[in-house]
Structure 1
Amino acid sequence: MYQKILDTAESLFMNQGYEATSTRQIAEALGITQPNIYYHFKKKEDIYVAVMRELADEVGSQLQEIAKENGSTLTEKLTEMMVYLQQRHPFDFYMMMHDMHYALSKESSQELYLLWQQSYEAPFVDVLKKEDVFLRSGVQAELAVKQLFILLAAYLQPDTYDKQGNSFPAAIDMFLYGIVKK
């Protein structure tokens, strides 16, 4: 039942956000009572943190594998990573960041932010820090990755119009090389 709770909660949290999802909704979706949920978790925040831990482990591992692949251009590699995120873990980036900063306890927020950095951001940073990628002087890979997520956040949302990731290559190319002809 523990895993079923996490799977159901993941879907609800990623589509509705933390604040809009209740333990009652999770229980109803599973056809159980709320006390059944509280047998496994003390409170809703514990469910959210467990969901995010599980996702971070899986996503981080897969993104690292993609980042290590050889033979792809920078645009292709970043596209493959973003398409993976879109297909495996569609989420509203802004809602998730809001939930992490304002809806959770300080301890949970700090834990999830570290998970985010390690599992979601770090593989992208690793790609940008490779020796064959030359960032402009003064551009830090960590800040560039944060900007990449902000730029592509709309494509990561659940039920986005482009489930195949067809818009990623053009968006990533514009991010990397700009839009103005020199």
Structure 2
Amino acid sequence: MYEEILDVAEELFMKQGYNDTSTRQIAKILEITQPNIYYHFKNKEEIYYQVMQRLANEVGKNLSELSAKENSFEEKIISMAFYLQKRHPFSLFMMMHDIQHTLNPETARKLFTLWQDSYKRPFLDLFERESQIRTSVDPEFAVRQLFILISAYLDSPAEVREENLKQAIELFFHGVLQ
């Protein structure tokens, strides 16, 4: 039942965010009682943390594998962005807002560390290894800008999502000037 709770909670948290998801909704979907949920988890915040930890572990592993492939730098970034788009089709802005403004500071700190290690680190390592990046470009700043760009295309309509994201990343790399 533990994993089933996390599966349903992940789906709800990703669609609705932390604030708009309740343990009552989770229990109703699973056709169990709320006390059954609280047998496995202390509270909704713990469920959220466990969902995000499980997701971050998976995402970090897959992003690292994609960054290790024998592709060009740009192809690696595009494939990593497409992976996030498919696996994480919700707003990173909403997730960060939930972490910063809704959760207790200790949980927020742990989740932010998870995010840095699992989401950001594979991109940052790739940027730091890339020799073609101008020396005046701070890899940390570049990765933050890339995440802002990727976030804009995570929850767009499926029929335009990949193509728009690819065009946006190409623009990120090559700019608008000849």
**Structure 1 residue matching 2:163: 3-state secondary structure:** coil
Measure how far apart 1:131 and its partner are.
Answer: 4.2
* 1:1-182 matched pairs, under 5 angstroms: 1-70=1-70, 72-132=71-131, 134-157=132-155, 160-162=157-159, 165-181=162-178
- 1:75·1:169 contact (CA, 8 Å) conserved in 2? no
Which structure exhibits the higher relative contact order, with contacts defined as CA atoms closer than 8 Å and separated by 6 or more residues? 1
C-alpha RMSD of matched pairs (Å): 1.5
Provide the TM-score with structure 1 as the length reference. 0.92
Separation (CA, whole Å) in 1 of partners of 2:176 and 2:159:
22
User: Is the alpha carbon distance of 1:164 and 1:126 closer, same or farther for their aligned partners in structure 2, counting shifts above 3 Å?
Assistant: same
Measure how far apart 1:168 and its partner are.
Answer: 2.4
Q: Which amino acid aligns with 1:180?
A: L
**Structure 2 residue matching 1:118: 3-state secondary structure:** helix
Separation (CA, whole Å) in 1 of partners of 2:145 and 2:19:
26
- 2:153·2:161 contact (CA, 8 Å) conserved in 1? no
- 2:56·2:119 contact (CA, 8 Å) conserved in 1? yes
Identity %: 50
User: Is the alpha carbon distance of 1:21 and 1:84 closer, same or farther for their aligned partners in structure 2, counting shifts above 3 Å?
Assistant: same
Provide the TM-score with structure 2 as the length reference. 0.94
Q: For structure 2, which runs of at least 5 residues remain unmatched after alignment?
A: none
- 1:87·1:163 contact (CA, 8 Å) conserved in 2? no
Separation (CA, whole Å) in 2 of partners of 1:163 and 1:88:
16
User: Is the alpha carbon distance of 1:59 and 1:163 closer, same or farther for their aligned partners in structure 2, counting shifts above 3 Å?
Assistant: farther
Separation (CA, whole Å) in 2 of partners of 1:161 and 1:87:
10
Separation (CA, whole Å) in 2 of partners of 1:131 and 1:156:
25
Compare 120-129 and 134-143 and name the one that shifted more.
Answer: 134-143
Aligned length: 178
**Structure 1 residue matching 2:90: 3-state secondary structure:** coil
Q: Which amino acid aligns with 1:100?
A: I
- 1:17·1:99 contact (CA, 8 Å) conserved in 2? yes
Compare 141-150 and 12-21 and name the one that shifted more.
Answer: 141-150
Q: Which amino acid aligns with 1:33?
A: T
**Structure 2 residue matching 1:156: 3-state secondary structure:** coil
User: Is the alpha carbon distance of 1:73 and 1:169 closer, same or farther for their aligned partners in structure 2, counting shifts above 3 Å?
Assistant: farther
